[in-house]
Amino acid sequence: MQLVVEEVRCWLVDIPTIRPHKLSMATMGSQTLMIVQLRCQNGIQGWGEGTTIGGLSYGPESPEAMRITVERYVAPLLIGQPLSGVAALAEKLAVLRGNNFAKSAVETAFLDAYGKLVGLPVAALLGGARHQTLPALWTLASGNTDKDIDEARALLESGRHHAFKLKIGAGDLHSDVAHAIRIKQALGDAIHVHVDVNQGWTMAQALAAIPRLQAAGITLIEQPTALEDIDQLVDLAKRFAVTLLADEAVTDAKQGLALIRQGFSGAFALKIAKAGGPFQALKLAHVAEAAGISLYGGTMLEGTIGTVAALHAWSTLDLEWGTEMFGPLLLKDDVVVHPLTYQQGHLSLPSGNGLGIEIDEDKLMHYARTA
Ligand code: MUC
Ligand code: MG
């Protein structure tokens, strides 16, 4: 069946976070969602979302640039062109270099619309859901150890999360390591705690810190060194028993293959934004599976639209390290009618065709930038 896109619209939506979210490269007080709407034949609408972290702090695409890319370069490639599915869309988008975050928003919107056209959920277009719920951890990043411990205890007590990731790499090495160890000790052996350094360390710092974190029972060490320094990541993964998780260093299937060829033996953080959409992220997942690399479902701190898009993709996989699809919970509000369900450490895949979510257009207009 073919889908014809008639119009492409974008909005930039700024939503405050529930508390400052402190990462090695930025502290977030709000998140910008670049929302894409594809208006298609028969009144079908597809929705997608592109996010990043801290403007240009995380990667080379800002939310503003994503919007221009979609409006000026993607829209003319799609409008009026019948597309037979997500592979046909990928072929069209392949003439545009890079800009995977913007492409991810477009691929998501296309999958939502195509699912509505054929009467199937997005997961079914991507291979079929093997899981209706997925584990979802919470990230502690208030910038204060005691606050993080209180936050984790409250979440454990409510049952919403059973596992945590810590953001480190902004402070000095010893305080960062002490911070992680204190939290791990406060939460106990049974609770998974992993650290994300977001490229904050040199190799020497990583060599000093990782043995201490490993001895304290930290379960994963995410992207300790600069993304370009693949040899360091490969080396660290070989040296330590604790699993090294590649995030910024692994975007799409080609980069995954390059890391595997260099002998990387850790795990990969999948993100729809890094790969250029849910379908593209699964290509990386399948390369990793073939090489025996374990997987983790990552977020670019998306709101509900992007989170659900990723969830449809992750539901087709077996993710040894679970997911961090908590993005909507970090935001004070969103642009959907029904929030997602998080309970017992898990997030449920919504039912319905396409993404299975309903957009609250009043809220979208309320939060959308006017200039
Ligand atoms: C990242 O680098 O992993 C994921 C969770 C979070 O708090 O930040 C993101 C980005
Ligand atoms: Mg990360």
Nearest Cα neighbor of 199 from 145, 247, 239 is 247
- Stretch 209-218: mean pLDDT, rounded? 98
> Does a structural domain hold residue 131?
yes
Asked which of 22-26, 35-39, 96-100, 197-201 is least confident by mean pLDDT, the reply is: 22-26
**300, 302, 321, best to mutate for ligand 1 pocket (most atoms within 8 Å of CB):** 300
Q: Do 149 and 233 share a domain, yes or no?
A: yes
Nearest-5° Cα angle at 344, 339 to 346? 60
Phi–psi pair at 21, nearest 5 degrees: -115, 110
- Stretch 106-110: mean pLDDT, rounded? 99
% the chain with pLDDT above 70 = 100
> Does a structural domain hold residue 341?
yes
Query: Per DSSP, what are the bridge partners of residue 192?
Result: 163
pTM surpassing 0.75? yes
% the chain with pLDDT above 90 = 98
The pLDDT-based confidence of 24 (bands split at 50, 70, 90) is confident
Q: How many domains does the structure of the chain reveal?
A: 2
Residue nearest to atom 7 of ligand 1 (CA): 139
Spacing, Cα 283 to ligand 2 middle (Å): 20
- Does the structure show a pLDDT above 90 at 171? no
User: Which atom of ligand 1 is nearest the CA belonging to 324?
Assistant: 5
Q: How much is the pLDDT for 25? A: 87
Q: Do 58 and 157 share a domain, yes or no?
A: no
Give the CATH number of the domain where residue 315 resides.
Answer: 3.20.20.120
Q: How much is the pLDDT for 315? A: 98
Residue nearest to atom 4 of ligand 1 (CA): 299
Ligand 1 contacts CB of residue 298 (under 6 A): yes
- Stretch 101-106: mean pLDDT, rounded? 98
Q: Do 56 and 171 share a domain, yes or no?
A: no
Give the separation between CA 68 and CA 73, rounded to whole angstroms: 8
Ligand 1 contacts CB of residue 139 (under 6 A): yes
Q: Do 210 and 278 share a domain, yes or no?
A: yes
- Stretch 120-132: mean pLDDT, rounded? 98
Report yes or no: 349 and 295 within 8 Å, Cβ to Cβ. Answer: no
Q: Which residues are catalytic?
A: 167
**324, 325, 331, best to mutate for ligand 1 pocket (most atoms within 8 Å of CB):** 324
Give the separation between CA 282 and CA 286, rounded to whole angstroms: 6
- Stretch 26-45: mean pLDDT, rounded? 97
Q: Do 112 and 144 share a domain, yes or no?
A: no
Spacing, Cα 193 to ligand 1 middle (Å): 14
Q: Do 318 and 270 share a domain, yes or no?
A: yes
- Does the structure show a pLDDT above 90 at 129? yes
Residue 237, domain extent? 125-348
Spacing, Cα 145 to ligand 2 middle (Å): 19
**165, 194, 195, 323, best to mutate for ligand 1 pocket (most atoms within 8 Å of CB):** 165
The pLDDT-based confidence of 371 (bands split at 50, 70, 90) is confident
Mean pLDDT of the chain: 97
pLDDT higher for 42 or 160?
Answer: 160
- Stretch 137-156: mean pLDDT, rounded? 97
Q: Do 117 and 221 share a domain, yes or no?
A: no
Give the CATH number of the domain where residue 93 resides.
Answer: 3.30.390.10
Q: Coil, strand or helix: which one is 312?
A: helix
Ligand positioned closest to the Cα atom of 196: 2
- Stretch 291-296: mean pLDDT, rounded? 98
